């Protein structure tokens, strides 16, 4: 059995892969690997001093309470494996660090330099070591060069402002989650006698409510007919479609009258021609949100999948720390050094040579406005990848090409805009040609419509009309969510963090509140039920404004402007008032509503379309509102078409995919004579 050195410095990494990278960076020779409880740790000599590098496995501690019921505001930290079955794997890591902390002369927190990493290391040192002998290592990549620099410039003491912000986030999330979840479960228990697991959360709940409210409006949406004039003309043997410059028509008859005049003409007369040069600036380097959006658009990856793939690349020292909001690349990362390393990879050699040639060696990134106090934007380290799987390679390639593109020049388009007249009506044709690819040579993922050659068109020229018709289109409901657009919404309203948003979205799916259908998010009956109860009885707790307010407070703690205790106290005061009122006045009623939604309490009068409770006309509140919308919108369609029979209107609405789900269900019910409904 290996005998530990009598005195040593203990380095705490966040994960085993990171621990190995640190050991390799600090050791002049090959680091010596040992095991305890089956968990690896490494012994190296750094500046003649023995260092032991050991790993956590993410969070080793979790909050819990010994109290039952709600509200509950007494809690404490315990080993995560003691309260969470899914954290059982962390027990040996916990025991290793507990043993190794006993004889260490100093402690270095070398977990990821973010709020979570700061908390992980802090709790280990607080529980098993000595905070007065603690240091912080700060790095953005796991390359040997960056790690050695981080250990040459250790901070005495821990980054307590980040620790305090992290502890506060954990406390707020626990307080809100445990109390509102227990309130929901209590309501079901007293109404039905059933014990079930329901969950709510400080960030999770407003996110669920946003999806539910959006889907409700989408399910109740009836498209409006829009009529436009569609004209095709011929130029040089090719056919082009003109854009009508008048307002779209709300009545078909008006569009047909215009079409009648246009059909009398054989030519479209060119009234003006405008030539322009358009520049598309290079994109900024990736932050995590932008990377998640691009990986979703290009490869269909979920935000969490992209985040996990990027973290694997980071642990392999191939990219910088991915959980960042920054769109900045500081000079200190060594632009040219990274380029020269990338050049050694045959896959990127030509790209780098072209870029260095076009920039004449003067590398200046096109940065975005977003910043992060801890890390720069995501960038490749230049180390050559080995044995990446297909998905890892896709994310790595995306990051490298975006990095190269941000140092490149503008893409340049030459455009021609032709203004035409047919009879007394105005039209426009715009064509673009790609003149210089610029940054698109390196990052070819932007879809731009352009032609190979611009035709020569002169003022006064007559262009033959090939075809003209009235084009009927239908309005669309503007908003629907997939996982990536939901994450972007969370980002836009400033709830959650780069690290937590993707996981919160996945939690809504694992709780069976949401599901994915054909790439879009749909709400389950359980999701509707929980959301309605939260909005009805815990409205303040589901508001984006309150969640955002606490996010600002957390940032203020990180900046040293607020105290954790004050933020937690304010949260407790808000929750206590709402929870006590719910318990006294609303729990049983809420429990009955949830019980019916969960089918624990039978619904006597069931909607003839779904199993919801009837409100009127044998329909639940959702399908009744859909019927009312069908009546209202029928008047709009009659105005649009001049006249349209009720059943023909219903058939058309039912056939349109843009029509809302509840709308189509009610329309079908009427068409099948299951529902008796006629407009007044």
Q: Mind telling me the catalytic residues?
A: 321
Question: Which residues sit opposite 606 in a β-bridge?
Answer: 613
Number of H helices, E strands in the chain: 22, 17
Question: Which residues sit opposite 32 in a β-bridge?
Answer: 43
Which tokens go with 123? Answer: 């709790």
Q: CA–CA distance from 136 to each of 94, 133, 434 (Å)?
A: 20, 11, 51
Work out the number of other CB atoms within 10 angstroms of the CB of residue 274.
11
Q: CA–CA distance from 352 to each of 64, 136, 334, 378, 639 (Å)?
A: 53, 36, 15, 18, 61
Which tokens go with 333? Answer: 């990362």
* Spatial distance between the Cα atoms of 220 and 621, rounded to a whole number of angstroms: 12
DSSP at 58: S
Question: Which residues sit opposite 11 in a β-bridge?
Answer: 53, 108
Phi, psi of 480 (to 5 degrees): -150, 150
* Spatial distance between the Cα atoms of 270 and 247, rounded to a whole number of angstroms: 20
* Spatial distance between the Cα atoms of 555 and 558, rounded to a whole number of angstroms: 5
Q: CA–CA distance from 215 to each of 4, 79, 209, 520, 530 (Å)?
A: 60, 40, 10, 11, 15
- For 573, counting Cβ atoms within 10 Å of its Cβ (0-12 exposed, 13-18 middle, 19+ buried), the class is exposed
* Spatial distance between the Cα atoms of 190 and 595, rounded to a whole number of angstroms: 10
**Contact by Cβ (8 Å): 471, 228:** yes
Which tokens go with 647? Answer: 């059943």
Which tokens go with 561? Answer: 């402007």
Which residues are within 8 A (CB) of 384 and not within 5 positions of it... i.e. 6 or more apart? 341, 344, 345
Phi, psi of 126 (to 5 degrees): -65, -45
Pairing of strands 104-110, 8-13: parallel
Question: Measured at the alpha carbon of residue 20, what is the angle toward residues 16 and 24, in degrees to the nearest 5?
Answer: 170
Q: Which residue has the tokens 């095709």?
A: 232
DSSP at 454: P
């Amino acid at each position: 059995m290996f005998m530990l050195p009598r005195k040593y410095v203990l380095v705490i990494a966040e994960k085993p892969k990171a621990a190995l990278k640190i050991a390799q960076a600090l050791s002049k020779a090959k680091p010596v690997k040992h095991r305890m409880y089956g968990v690896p740790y490494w012994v190296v000599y750094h500046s003649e001093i023995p260092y032991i590098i050991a790993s956590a496995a993410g969070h080793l501690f979790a909050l819990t309470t010994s109290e039952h019921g709600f509200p509950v505001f007494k809690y404490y930290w315990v080993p995560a494996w003691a309260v969470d079955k899914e954290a059982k794997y962390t027990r040996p890591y916990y025991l290793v660090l507990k043993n190794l902390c006993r004889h260490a002369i100093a402690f270095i927190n070398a977990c990821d330099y973010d709020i979570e990493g700061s908390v992980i290391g802090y709790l280990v040192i607080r529980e098993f070591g000595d905070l007065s002998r603690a240091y912080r290592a700060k790095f953005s990549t796991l390359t040997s060069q960056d790690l050695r620099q981080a250990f040459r410039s250790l901070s005495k003491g821990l980054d307590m402002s980040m620790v305090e912000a992290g502890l506060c986030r954990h406390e707020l999330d626990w307080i809100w989650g445990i109390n509102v979840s227990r309130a929901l479960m209590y309501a079901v228990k007293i109404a039905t006698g059933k014990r079930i697991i329901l969950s709510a959360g400080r960030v999770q709940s407003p996110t669920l409510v946003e999806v539910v409210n959006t889907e409700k409006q989408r399910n109740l949406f009836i498209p409006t007919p829009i009529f436009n004039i569609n004209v095709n003309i011929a130029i040089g043997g090719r056919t082009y479609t003109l854009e009508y410059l008048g307002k779209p028509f709300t009545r078909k008859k008006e569009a047909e009258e215009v079409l009648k005049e246009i059909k009398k003409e054989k030519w479209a007369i060119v009234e003006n021609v405008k030539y322009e040069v358009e520049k598309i600036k290079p994109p900024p380097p990736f932050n995590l949100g932008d990377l998640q959006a691009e990986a979703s658009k290009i490869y269909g990856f979920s935000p969490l999948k992209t985040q996990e793939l990027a973290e694997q690349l980071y642990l392999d020292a191939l990219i910088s720390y991915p959980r960042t909001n920054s769109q900045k690349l500081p000079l200190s990362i060594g632009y040219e050094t990274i380029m020269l390393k990338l050049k050694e990879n045959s896959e990127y050699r030509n790209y780098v040579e072209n870029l260095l040639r076009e920039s004449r060696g003067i590398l200046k990134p096109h940065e975005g406005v977003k910043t992060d106090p801890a890390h720069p934007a995501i960038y490749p380290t230049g180390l050559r990848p080995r044995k990446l799987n297909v998905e890892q390679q896709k994310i790595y390639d995306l990051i490298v090409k975006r990095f190269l593109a941000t140092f490149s020049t503008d893409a340049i388009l030459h455009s021609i805009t032709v203004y035409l007249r047919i009879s007394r009506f105005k039209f426009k044709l715009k064509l673009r040609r790609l003149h210089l690819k610029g940054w698109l040579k390196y990052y070819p993922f932007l879809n731009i419509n352009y032609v190979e050659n611009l035709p020569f068109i002169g003022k006064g020229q007559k262009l033959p009309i090939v075809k003209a018709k009235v084009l009927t289109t239908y309005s669309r409901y503007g908003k629907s969510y997939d996982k990536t657009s939901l994450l972007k919404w969370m980002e836009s309203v400033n709830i959650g963090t780069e690290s937590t948003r993707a996981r919160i979205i996945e939690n809504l799916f694992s709780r069976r509140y949401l599901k994915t259908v054909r790439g879009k998010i749909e709400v389950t009956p359980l999701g509707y039920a929980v959301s309605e109860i939260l909005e009805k009885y815990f409205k303040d707790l589901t508001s984006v404004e309150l969640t955002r307010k606490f996010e600002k407070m957390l940032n203020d703690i990180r900046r040293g402007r607020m105290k954790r205790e004050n933020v937690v106290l304010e949260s407790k005061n808000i929750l206590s008032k709402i929870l006590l009122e719910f318990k006294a006045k609303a729990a049983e009623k809420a429990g009955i509503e949830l019980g019916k939604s969960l089918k624990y309490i039978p619904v006597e009068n069931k909607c003839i379309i779904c199993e919801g409770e009837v409100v009127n006309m044998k329909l639940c509140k959702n399908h009744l509102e859909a019927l009312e919308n069908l009546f209202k919108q029928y008047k709009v369609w009659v105005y649009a078409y001049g006249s349209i029979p009720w059943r023909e209107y219903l058939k058309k609405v039912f056939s349109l995919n843009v029509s809302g789900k509840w709308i189509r269900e009610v329309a079908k019910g009427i068409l099948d004579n299951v529902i008796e409904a006629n407009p007044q």
